[in-house]
Amino acid sequence: MKNTLPQFYSVFSIDCVLFGFDGGELKILLIERNEEPFKDWWALPGNLVAQDESLDESATRILYELTGLKGVYMEQYYAFGDVDRHPQGRVVTVAYYALLRLSGDKTPKPVSDFAKNAQWINVNDVPKLAFDHQKIYEKGLEKIKRRIKHQPIAFELLPEKFTLTQLQQVYELVLGKKLDKRNFRKKMLNFGILKDLDEKQKGVSFRAATLYKFDKRKYTKLFGKEISF
């Protein structure tokens, strides 16, 4: 690498794209930046990678510092390296994502001064984001849209027993569009991956809906189709 500096000088960062479903809304975790550039802007939780940490370690640390969240399993999905993506120099960022079922203990709160606020925000209300974070976020959204069509992630976001209305809502939120109720139910039931529990919703005064459970064995058989030897 001799003689290659400053031509190859650069820094790299991590950005975290966390989607959360709270039973009613699909949300994305954002911070309000407390530092230049883009001070006071909304952004994905992200910061520079330190010299002594691996990318995975860095992602875990950064998420914790900026949002207080711990123990979230994130997966690396893409490195963004457009030349002009950062106004202060060349910064390549490695993006990580996760899709979570939100419960009370997932309330975010920054630990470091780098962020002055952290919040789960409805994906329909995402504000203008710093840097190229809109692009990074959209690629993350594409990723979960593809996954929900091929993998049983919808079921990980629901309680063990759920109604078809709840299931449809998860699909509509992730795919970002209304689905025809009759068609959705027909398709879902035809796949044969739902177990009718012969049990109704409780605590509902009128027209309690049937509860279903996800039949993982059948699901795997249907969608895990592969040429295996």
Contact residues toward a second copy (CB under 8 A) are: 1, 4, 7-12, 48-55, 58, 76, 78-83, 88-90, 92, 94, 148-150, 171, 175, 179-180, 183-184, 187-188, 191, 222-223, 225-229
In 3D space, the residue among 84, 44, 86, 38 whose CA is nearest the CA of residue 63 turns out to be 44
Cα-based torsion angle of the residue sequence 73, 79, 82, 86 in order, rounded to the nearest 10 degrees: 40
Tell me how far, at minimum, the Cβ of 179 lies from a second copy, in Å.
5
Tokens representing 54 are: 């691996």
Nearer to a second copy, 149 or 200 (CB): 149
Which 3 state secondary structure label does DSSP give 189?
helix
Query: Which strand (E) or helix (H) includes residue 100?
Result: strand 91-101
- Assess contact for 136 and 46: CB atoms under 8 A: no
Tell me how far, at minimum, the Cβ of 63 lies from a second copy, in Å.
16
Neighbouring CB atoms inside 10 A of 135's CB total 14
Query: Which strand (E) or helix (H) includes residue 183?
Result: helix 181-191
Tell me how far, at minimum, the Cβ of 127 lies from a second copy, in Å.
24
Nearer to a second copy, 51 or 205 (CB): 51
Tell me how far, at minimum, the Cβ of 143 lies from a second copy, in Å.
13
Q: How far is 98 from 155, CA to CA, in rounded Å?
A: 15
Nearer to a second copy, 120 or 137 (CB): 137
Nearer to a second copy, 106 or 133 (CB): 133
Tell me how far, at minimum, the Cβ of 28 lies from a second copy, in Å.
22
Measured in degrees and rounded to the nearest 5, phi and psi for residue 201 equal -50, 145
Nearer to a second copy, 125 or 226 (CB): 226
Q: How far is 187 from 83, CA to CA, in rounded Å?
A: 45
Tell me how far, at minimum, the Cβ of 177 lies from a second copy, in Å.
8
Which 3 state secondary structure label does DSSP give 150?
helix
Neighbouring CB atoms inside 10 A of 67's CB total 27
Nearer to a second copy, 8 or 206 (CB): 8
